[in-house]
Amino acid sequence: MSYDLVVIGTGPGGYVCAIRAAQLGLRTAVVEKRATHGGTCLNVGCIPSKALLHASEAFEEANKHFADLGIDVGTPKLDLKKMMSFKAEGVAGNTKGVEFLLKKNKVDTFHGTGRIAGAGRVEVIAEDGGNQMLETKSIVIATGSDVARLPGVTIDEKVVVSSTGALELDRVPKKLLVIGAGVIGLELGSVWRRLGSEVTVVEYLDRVLPGMDGEVGKQFQRILTKQGIAFKLSTKVTGVEVGKKGGASVTVEPAAGGEAETLQADVVLVCIGRTPYTEGLGLDTVGVQRDDKGRIQTDSHYATNVTGIYAIGDVIAGPMLAHKAEDEGVAVAEMLAGQSGHVNYGVIPNVVYTFPEVASVGKTEEELTKDGIAYNAGKFPFTANGRAKANGTTDGFVKVLADAQTDRVLGVHIVGADAGNLIAEVAVAMEFGASSEDIARTCHAHPTLTEAVKEAALAVNKRAIHV
């Protein structure tokens, strides 16, 4: 079988790449070793976690806030099994959707592990051992990432779980200990806290959400603490021991060294990041170079050092986000079809889907200070936004950072209800090189939360109206 393009892996990077390539007239095939398409994102990542965040948020609303709205539903009862089938339905709907789209675009699909036998040759090894060889002009590796392990800690997906196990628990743990205060740990910690767990988050660094704006991190931690999540920052985990009767003892000590203490938990969630996944690809045989973190090295055209082999998504450098993988998939497909694909890495939104949400795009204050770029900051709290007041969702703020000389928007950071949707207008504005005044002079509908974005833009030049 002979193709223009074979894509290995059908996560958001791979399947989007294949569809775009097929749209542009390339004869395209995909190889996927999982039974369903959609990769980490649809099967064990973005989609199932968001389904549980949605369902657990509804549970908490009914439990704690409906009465304030004059709705008496009594004490809601959790049916965890049903909640898990709600999540599974969402996953199935999405993975079947990808299968349909691949078929609709006439992309051939092969199930099995893809191994690069040489430039232009991909061997598909099926689970039953059967194999077939695909000939192709180009290969795109989109094999994604896997959970990072903590040395000496075995993940059994029952007592010591990764994000995958935390999406499948069959009962609410009384005590959940989360190792790592990054996005995934805080999202899944929020899910189980809402469903009744006592949640403690242990983080090596002195802050939550490393890499995001510091002020946002501080405010967000305060909100999560108010919701009942306990934090142990600047603390390292030195050991996890699973008890004979279940549960685990987790030994921790100050990151800077000091006295150790032992914490008890029913379930320990290890959420310390993800590592690029290249197992079984045969990269050493063909000589594809990787960096010191195991990521496939590519140039700005996603080309590896071996002619005809490209890579995108979590398996290469950059933020491990589904939309980053998708955009790279489109870009490389367009380049292979002779067009000029492009990804603007300066404008990739980043969202934490807790309540409230956290969303950011562009530079943080810390990055601007480090780069020596003079900027003006405009901030607007949701306590002063009419719609937030009416909805009773006043936690958080919008912060716009604009170049001190040109007023060009360099970064926007939001903590607040629906922040993940609010960030989209700013991403568009930044793609068009908008100034804070451009956003401030754009008419925003009233009463909406988007008015807080406009007011923060006004605040850059100290002319916010509602504070």
CB of 86 to ligand FAD, least distance (A): 17
CB of 14 to ligand FAD, least distance (A): 5
Task: Tell me if 208 contacts ligand FAD by CB under 6 A.
Answer: no
**23: exposed, middle or buried (Cβ count in 10 Å: 0-12, 13-18, 19+):** middle
Enclosing H/E stretch for 141: strand 131-141
Q: Are 465 and 451 in contact (CB under 8 A)?
A: no
Of the residues 231, 277, 380, 382, which one makes contact with ligand FAD according to CB under 6 A? 277
Active-site residue, 446 included: yes
Residues 6+ positions from 54 with CB-CB distance below 8 Å: none
Chain CA centroid to CA 184, Å: 7
Residues 6+ positions from 30 with CB-CB distance below 8 Å: 6, 7, 8, 9, 10, 14, 15, 18, 37, 102, 107, 108, 109, 110
Nearer to ligand FAD, 144 or 381 (CB): 144
Side-chain half-sphere CA neighbours of 464 within 13 A:
21
Of the residues 322, 429, 449, 460, which one makes contact with ligand FAD according to CB under 6 A? 322
Q: How far is CA 176 from CA 86, 184, 199, in A?
A: 23, 14, 5
Enclosing H/E stretch for 236: strand 235-242
Tokens of 361: 């795009």
Task: Tell me if 40 contacts ligand FAD by CB under 6 A.
Answer: yes
Q: Of 54, 413, 446, 466, which is the active-site residue?
A: 446
Mask: binding to ligand FAD, 65-104, rule CB under 6 A, as x and -?
A: ----------------------------------------
Nearest-angstrom CA–CA distance, 18 and 28? 6
Mask: binding to ligand FAD, 334-353, rule CB under 6 A, as x and -?
A: -------------------x
Is 320 annotated to bind ligand?
A: yes
Of the residues 114, 120, 378, 411, which one makes contact with ligand FAD according to CB under 6 A? 114
The DSSP secondary-structure symbol of 410 reads E
Neighbours of 154 (CB within 10 A): 11
Question: Among residues 13, 3, 4, which one has the least CA distance to residue 323?
Answer: 13
Nearest-angstrom CA–CA distance, 259 and 251? 10
Tokens of 23: 């749209």
Is 323 annotated to bind ligand?
A: yes
Of the residues 98, 321, 419, 439, which one makes contact with ligand FAD according to CB under 6 A? 321
Task: Tell me if 313 contacts ligand FAD by CB under 6 A.
Answer: yes
Q: Are 413 and 360 in contact (CB under 8 A)?
A: yes
Is 215 annotated to bind ligand?
A: no
Nearer to ligand FAD, 32 or 213 (CB): 32
CB of 166 to ligand FAD, least distance (A): 8
Is 314 annotated to bind ligand?
A: yes
Task: Tell me if 41 contacts ligand FAD by CB under 6 A.
Answer: yes
Nearest-angstrom CA–CA distance, 429 and 453? 12
CB of 131 to ligand FAD, least distance (A): 12
Peptide bond into 254 cis (omega under 30): no
Task: Tell me if 59 contacts ligand FAD by CB under 6 A.
Answer: no
Q: Are 154 and 168 in contact (CB under 8 A)?
A: no
Of 385-444, binders to ligand FAD (CB under 6 A) are none
Of the residues 90, 120, 144, 416, which one makes contact with ligand FAD according to CB under 6 A? 144
Tokens of 37: 């398409």
Side-chain half-sphere CA neighbours of 143 within 13 A:
24
Question: How many residues of this chain bind ligand FAD (CB under 6 A)?
Answer: 36
Is 143 annotated to bind ligand?
A: yes
Task: Tell me if 325 contacts ligand FAD by CB under 6 A.
Answer: yes
Task: Tell me if 169 contacts ligand FAD by CB under 6 A.
Answer: no
For every residue of 411-463, DSSP letters joined together read EEEEEETTHHHHHHHHHHHHHTT-BHHHHHTS---TTSTHHHHHHHHHHHTT-
Q: Are 145 and 274 in contact (CB under 8 A)?
A: yes
Is 182 annotated to bind ligand?
A: yes
Nearer to ligand FAD, 15 or 375 (CB): 15
Alpha helix (H) residue ranges in 195-258: 214-227
Stretch that binds ligand FAD, among 136-144, 197-205, 387-395, 437-445 (CB under 6 A): 136-144
Of the residues 13, 120, 185, 378, which one makes contact with ligand FAD according to CB under 6 A? 13
Of the residues 39, 165, 180, 411, which one makes contact with ligand FAD according to CB under 6 A? 39
Is 54 annotated to bind ligand?
A: no
Of the residues 3, 7, 33, 209, which one makes contact with ligand FAD according to CB under 6 A? 33
Residues binding ligand FAD (CB under 6 A): 8-14, 31-34, 39-41, 45-46, 49, 113-114, 142-145, 163, 184, 277, 280-281, 313-314, 320-323, 325, 353
Q: Give the annotated binding-site residues.
A: 50, 114, 143-145, 180-187, 203, 273, 314, 320-323
The residues annotated with a catalytic role in the active site are 446
Annotated binding site for NAD(+): 180-187, 203, 273
Extract the annotated binding site for FAD. Answer: 50, 114, 143-145, 314, 320-323
